[in-house]
Structure 1
Amino acid sequence: MVGSVWGTIPTILYTLENPLIAGGVVLGGVLLGIGGWQAAKRFGWRRGPSVAAGISLGVVLGATFSRTLPDYASMPGVVPRERPFCYVNGFSAVGGNEMINVLLFVPLVFFAVLAVRRVLVVAGAAVALSAVVELLQPLTHRGLCETQDFLNNSAGSLVAAAAGAAVLALGRVASR
């Protein structure tokens, strides 16, 4: 598993070579980081984790919506409107793109749990956001809808929520 995580780095770097994606990630991260700061002030959340969650949300949205339809989605001989709306495939963490989808929501969910201290709400919102992203990608021509991506994002989100809950629990124990 650790080898898979480290093996993901070249895929991430290759993805960020696309100036559209790199720009979307940076712009989204900056704007939503500022939004995280403002939300923390308004709702009484922890500021540092709120900013980190905002930046992470910007990275998620920037990476998923600031690109064009991937080359691999244009299969020879297949007319785009004949493609299924959503490809039904199962969970897999084998491969760079698959592991990116497992890791994509991890920082967002982890920092959001620390910011708002509502583990189940954050986990549920992350799973819902993943579903919305997958459904919007084919409608905006910014990617493919795949159940595997949804499952991978959701698995990463649940692990990150559990890790955030553990950090909150350790903090409560340490403050006694």
Structure 2
Amino acid sequence: MLDQVRYAVVFVFSDPVTAGGVVVGAVVLGASAWFAARRFGWRPVPSVFAGIFLGLVLALTFSRSQPSWALVGTEFCLLNGFSLHGVSELFNALLFAPLVWCAVLATRRPLAVLVSAVASSAVIEVLQPLVGRGMCETQDLFNNSAGAVVAAGLAAGYVALRDRMA
């Protein structure tokens, strides 16, 4: 698993345009989150981290090319089900978790964050084949959503426990 993460990092940062996009996206979205936190009364530190993680999610999902075999079929989106068998599947389940965790800590609104994460995953899946950066798979949406549900639930529980202890 650690080798796969290392490979993903090297892959993303081997292309200067993608690497620049990761850094610029993380900085811009992190700074935007800080301003949003001030505007909406959110907690600033988890807001900034949520913005940074959003930049990383976007960079990772749009950094790969569309596979050549995906161009052959007539399906716009590959219809497959939820699975955690394989590194890619597990990675997709964990992809939104840090973003959702930080966003719930920042906003204290787990349901709104969860709905936003699932909607963002759906938009990403639809956009990937349209811009030629990856492919649309329902499995990715299901895995991203499952990870977001777990992260939102854990973060909501943490916030409730922390409030109760305070």
- Please give the TM-score of this superposition, normalised by the length of structure 2: 0.91
2:163 to 159, 162, 172: 172
- Return structure 1 stretches of 4+ with deviation > 6 angstroms: none
Q: Residue 81 of structure 1: CA displacement?
A: 6.2
Q: Residue 14 of structure 1: CA displacement?
A: 4.5
Structure 2 letter corresponding to 1:58: G
Q: Residue 7 of structure 1: CA displacement?
A: 6.2
Q: Which runs of 5+ in 1 are unaligned?
A: none
Partner of 1:38: 35
Q: Root-mean-square deviation (CA), in Å?
A: 1.8
Partner of 2:11: 15
Hey, what's the Cα distance between the residues in 2 that align with 1:98 and 1:32? 26
Partner of 2:124: 133
Matches within 5 A, 1:21-32: 21-32=18-29
Tell me: CA distance 1:66–1:8, structure 2 relative to 1, closer, same or farther (3 Å): closer
Partner of 1:115: 106
Hey, what's the Cα distance between the residues in 1 that align with 2:146 and 2:63? 24
Partner of 1:74: 68
- Please give the TM-score of this superposition, normalised by the length of structure 1: 0.86
* Percent identity between the two aligned chains: 51
Tell me: CA distance 1:11–1:88, structure 2 relative to 1, closer, same or farther (3 Å): farther
Summarize deviations over 1:77-134 as a string: whole Å, max 9, x none: x8x3643100011111122211111111011100000111111111111111100100
| 1:57 matches 2:51 | no
Structure 2 letter corresponding to 1:144: M
Q: Is the 8 A contact 2:95 2:144 kept in 1?
A: yes
Count of residues in correspondence between the two structures: 165
